[in-house]
Chains A and B, each alone.
Chain A
């Protein structure tokens, strides 16, 4: 059954056919940010394991996570988590069948994009000051 020969069928328009739109790009970014957060999540889990292990091992792990590369991953993850959160809220709104009109959907799209930048900047400033 799995080995049936695939007949040559016409393909419906897809990603490379349509012109990129705010709605499609903001949707794809939701998926990318959500899955890319695995990198930061594993790094955070490792940081907690190090804290549970010993002061020496924690000093090593903490130095890696707060190195320039670690900072870059953490700052990127901070933006990714805010973007994914706001895009998730947009989905929770859409699930009720509201906000789907083109004009509203565009406003929600820009709210997610600019909102994620704003939340990243504000939360990064707060975290640095803590």
Chain B
């Protein structure tokens, strides 16, 4: 170990660097979702319970397909960051690391599966 004072060891590691990156990512994704969520809710709501051919025809159209894709990307990214803070607050030690990794994997997996589905429908 190097001979450093505690102060010297933490100098420059605070919010002066990337401390606000998480906050800013939540802020930008939340503003994007402010537009995407209402569009998605009414598009999905309108198609829920409708026959298969009608659902496929609707989500093959450019705007609904793009809205679904963007909502999946931004929504699960937003969820990933949100659940990260939830875990940090209530779970500690090794369990915390495992939970954060597991929920990050789940977020990206759900996002990818959803994107594959909408691509297959639309193209």
Partner of A85, one of B34, B45, B68, B82: B34
Q: Is B19 in the interface zone, CB < 8 Å from A? A: no
List the 9 closest A-B pairs by CB distance, nearest first.
Answer: A127-B45, A130-B46, A52-B120, A48-B117, A55-B52, A52-B117, A45-B114, A49-B117, A58-B52
Taking beta carbons and an 8 Å cutoff, which residues of A are in contact with B? 2, 31, 34-35, 37-38, 41-42, 44-45, 47-49, 51-52, 55, 58-59, 62, 65-66, 74, 78, 81, 85, 88-89, 91-92, 95, 123, 126-127, 130
Question: Contacts of B82 on A, CB cut-off 8 Å?
Answer: 31, 34-35
Is chain A's binding surface mostly helix, strand, loop or mixed? helix
**In B38-78, which residues have CB < 8 Å from any A CB?**
41-42, 44-46, 48-49, 52-53, 55-56, 59, 68, 72, 75-76
Taking beta carbons and an 8 Å cutoff, which residues of B are in contact with A? 27, 30-31, 33-34, 37, 41-42, 44-46, 48-49, 52-53, 55-56, 59, 68, 72, 75-76, 79, 82-83, 86, 93, 110, 113-114, 116-118, 120-121
Question: Contacts of B31 on A, CB cut-off 8 Å?
Answer: 92
Cβ contact within 8 Å between A85 and B37 = yes
Cβ contact within 8 Å between A38 and B34 = no
CB distance from B121 to the nearest CB of A (A): 5
- A1 to B117: give the CA distance in the assembly, Å: 47
Cβ contact within 8 Å between B30 and A41 = no
Question: Contacts of B41 on A, CB cut-off 8 Å?
Answer: 78, 81, 123, 127
Cβ contact within 8 Å between A95 and B27 = yes
CB distance from A80 to the nearest CB of B (A): 11
Question: Contacts of A78 on B, CB cut-off 8 Å?
Answer: 41, 45
Cβ contact within 8 Å between B52 and A45 = no
CB within 8 Å for A35 and B34 given contacts A41-B76, A62-B48: no
CB distance from B45 to the nearest CB of A (A): 3
Cβ contact within 8 Å between B86 and A92 = no
Most chain A beta carbons < 10 A, residue from B33, B34, B55:
B55
Question: Contacts of A2 on B, CB cut-off 8 Å?
Answer: 93
CB within 8 Å for A42 and B59 given contacts A37-B79, A47-B48, A52-B116: no
